[in-house]
Structures are given as structure tokens and as C-alpha cells.
């Protein structure tokens, strides 16, 4: 679902909440952003949503992580969310060597931290993602939790920016 700022400000709360949940499944954040309408500009919306995301706690991050596929895997979430994930991971090639290295890295990360490896994949290629994965395997749990919160916030903000930057469905954007 694509929206312009007018739609963000005027759609029924449940419709905006569904769109925001596809950005990050953090109900307190979704409710906070919905309740803050109307926004005077897209920049104000993004700044408000970003500031609100900075207070996510560990339980909220864990909930949101449950919706994210492993790097190199397809999302099994609803269509809009799966499309966002596919776009974000478009720089991650699926050749056998890289896929095997990602599977091994994902398994090592999950063994070490007991959660899925999350990284903002948008704008990064497989080699960069693998290097980040290897570096982050050296983090202690507290440091890694903070990194994950930051990565989740970056993903959510990119998704929200994409949501409001695209012309509304059925319009050519001209």
C-alpha cells in the first residue's frame, strides 16, 4: 500500500496502523505515530517516527524480529511486507557459494545470540552483509542488542519513507 502525506493524515487509523505494522511490528510505535497525526510534512512524519522508534525495548524488538526473514531467504509475511523485504534484499545474490555462506553465518549468529541476524540490507551487497555478520558475531549480547535495535529502526524508516514517497496506487505521480 502506497500513501501520500494526505492519505497518512486522513485514512482510518486501522488502515494506517496496518501500513506502519508492515514497516515494523511494534504496536506502541504504530499507535504513537497514528495518534500524532496530522503531520505538516513528510519530513515531520519521518522525524517523529524515527524519534519514537528510538525508545523500542527488547521485547518490542524481539516481536518485530519474528517478522523478518533470514538474509538470503524469502519472507512468508503478507504481500506488502514480503515485497518490501524482497526489495531490501535485492542486492543479495542467490548463487550457491553466497547462499551457503549466508546459511552458515545465519546459523552461527542464531546459535550465538538466539535470534535471527538482522541487518539493513538495502544498498548493501552480499559481501558487505557477510562482513557485517562476521564482525557482529564478535559482539557481546548487550552490544548486539543495541546494533539490532538500530538496524530495525533503519529498516522501519526506509520502509516508511518508501511508503510515503511512492505515488498513491492508481496515480502516475505526475
SS3 content of the chain, % helix, strand, coil (to 5): 65, 0, 35
> Could you give the CA distance from residue 66 to residue 49 in angstroms, rounded to a whole number?
21
**Closest to 82 in 3D by CA, of 12, 149, 159:** 159
Question: The C-alpha cell of 43 is what?
Answer: 519530513
With b meaning 16 or more CB within 10 Å and e meaning fewer, what string describes 24-58? bbbeebbebbbeeeebeeeeebbeebeebbeebee
Euclidean distance between CA atoms 135 and 174, whole angstroms:
44
Domain at 5-164: CATH code? 1.10.3330.10
**Between the CA of residue 33 and those of 23, 49, 69, 157, 169, what are the distances in Å?**
12, 6, 25, 12, 22
**Per-domain boundaries in the chain:** 5-164
Q: pLDDT of the chain along its 174 residues, tens only?
A: 679 999 999 999 999 999 999 999 999 999 999 999 999 999 999 999 999 999 999 999 999 998 887 776 654 555 555 455 445 554 555 577 877 888 899 999 999 999 999 999 888 888 889 889 999 999 999 999 999 999 999 999 999 999 998 554 444 433
Q: What pTM was estimated for this model as a whole?
A: 0.80
**Chain-centroid distance, C-alpha 36:** 21
Rounded to a whole number of angstroms, the distance between the first and last alpha carbons of the chain is 18
Amino acid at each position: 500500500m502506497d500513501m501520500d502525506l494526505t492519505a497518512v493524515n486522513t485514512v482510518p487509523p486501522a488502515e494506517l496502523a496496518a501500513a506502519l505494522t508492515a514497516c515494523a511490528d511494534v504496536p506502541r510505535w504504530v499507535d504513537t505515530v497514528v495518534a500524532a497525526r496530522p503531520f505538516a510534512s513528510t519530513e515531520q512524519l519521518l522525524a517523529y517516527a524515527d524519534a519514537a522508534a528510538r525508545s523500542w525495548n527488547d521485547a518490542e524488538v524481539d516481536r518485530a524480529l519474528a517478522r523478518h526473514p533470514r538474509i538470503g531467504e524469502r519472507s512468508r509475511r503478507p504481500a506488502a511486507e514480503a515485497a518490501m523485504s524482497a526489495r531490501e534484499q535485492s542486492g543479495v545474490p542467490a548463487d550457491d557459494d553466497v547462499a551457503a555462506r549466508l546459511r552458515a553465518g545465519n546459523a552461527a549468529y542464531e546459535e550465538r545470540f538466539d535470534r535471527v541476524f538482522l541487518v539493513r540490507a538495502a544498498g548493501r551487497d552480499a559481501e558487505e552483509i557477510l562482513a557485517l555478520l562476521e564482525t557482529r558475531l564478535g559482539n557481546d549480547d548487550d552490544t548486539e542488542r543495541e546494533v539490532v535495535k538500530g538496524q530495525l529502526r533503519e529498516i522501519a524508516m526506509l520502509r516508511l519513507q518508501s511508503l510515503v514517497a511512492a505515488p498513491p496506487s492508481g496515480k502516475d505521480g505526475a
